[in-house]
Structure 1
């Protein structure tokens, strides 16, 4: 989760797409211009089984002078020893 947050901060679309599960990966990513990321708080994590886990987080940002919060419970899957972002539920 932290590495994906850093990739959003750095606008590293290649990393984000590489860590997105192929079944749910978008064809490309666009970043909102002028977004300033302010912090990540990991609130909870849960191992579902050896190949599935969930992470609840809040990411804060500012865009055009307005504060935003992204609160999500993300699902990850491990295949061939590599974790990928599957999807998330907004809170």
Structure 2
């Protein structure tokens, strides 16, 4: 997420979603921001999965560019009902 580290775990906990995530990577964990693929590549590295085997969900054009640059399958949540 492009969000800041201290907020994200609390937000996921409040939404009862934290247990679904093995790790959380924020913009604070990487040097280059979206549209660079760094944040998605770091997430794949942390969970030990090759980027080509990952699917990422995004709600911004820059994020979609970053996912594709990482070689991952990109899902644009703006197109979901």
Same fold (TM over 0.5): no
Q: Which of the two has greater strand per residue? A: 1
TM-score (norm 1): 0.27
TM-score (norm 2): 0.29
* Max Rg structure: 1
Q: Which of the two has greater helix per residue? A: 2
